[in-house]
Structure 1
Amino acid sequence: MIEIVSAERCTACNICVQVCPTNVFEIVKDEAPRIARQNDCQTCFMCELYCPEDALYVAPVADEPVHVNAQDEKLKSLMGSYKKSIGWSKGQTSTAARDHSFELLLRAH
């Protein structure tokens, strides 16, 4: 479930607002978006994946908020970690690009 939009890191680009399939966020003029409907979060990680500043933290617990502290240094290191783990960070080769199973489909046609 979405837990944090870091005011320190966020540039108010509102990409997270646009990609959220359940309309969890609200735009706040000249500020970081507000988590307006946290219980609607489906823990899809789309907001965290698309955030260019790694300003979001989505906890892997989907059923209830976990109440984390945005100033916790350990938590700050987790922000954007899902994106890194699947290869979406800048300069990374995605895990999909390393998967050569698509070649089997090409040979089948």
Structure 2
Amino acid sequence: MIELIVADRCTNCGACVEVCPTNVLDPAPAGPPLLARVDDCQTCFMCELYCTADAIYVAPDCDRRVTVTSAEVVASGHLGQYRQHSGWDEWGDRFPNNQWLMEVVFRRAGEAALAKETAR
């Protein structure tokens, strides 16, 4: 779930607002976008992928909020890590984007669920 936008890294480009499929973010008159509807976050990481300033932290837990501070997230090295490991933008030549492999994982999960349901 989206947890925070590090204000001093944010360039106010608005890309995160535009790409969010559930409209979690609202543009602000000044400063970084507002986390307006955090409970609607699907933890899809799109905002984090499109943030070229690496100012957004999305926690992998999609069921509950995780309390973190900007200082903790900056110190952890998590900012921009998802973009990097996804081979996004400037990382494309050093890290392959293997997100398409998730199709196999989802298909196997669906087949396992169907087999479990059928066995009942």
Q: TM-score, normalised by structure 1?
A: 0.81
CA positional deviation for 1:89: 4.3
State the superposition RMSD in angstroms.
Answer: 1.8
* Equivalent residue, structure 1, for 2:103: none
Greater helix fraction, Structure 1 or Structure 2: 2
What does residue 59 of structure 2 align with?
Answer: 59
Separation in 2, partners of 1:38, 1:67: 13
Q: Which moved more, 1:84-93 or 1:22-31?
A: 84-93
**Offset at 1:74?**
2.7
**Secondary structure of 2:57 counterpart:** strand
In 1, the alpha carbon distance for the partners of 2:24 and 2:45 equals 12
Letter in 2 for 1:80: G
**Distance in 2 separating the partners of 1:50 and 1:37:** 19
Number of residues of Structure 1 aligned to a counterpart in Structure 2: 97
Q: Does the Cα contact within 8 Å between 2:88 and 2:97 map onto a contact in 1?
A: no
Q: Map 1:81-92; keep pairs closer than 5 Å.
A: 81-92=81-92
Per the TM alignment, residue 15 of structure 1 is displaced from its structure 2 partner at its CA by 0.5
> In 2, distance between residues paired with 1:6 and 1:61?
19
| Residues 47-68 of structure 1: per-residue CA shift (max 9 Å, x gap) | 0000110000000000010111
Percent identical among aligned pairs is 45
Opposite residue 57 of structure 1, the aligned amino acid is Y
Gaps of 5+ in 2: 101-120
Structure 1 segments of 4+ aligned residues over 4 angstroms from their partners: none
Question: What's the offset of the Cα at 1:90?
Answer: 1.3
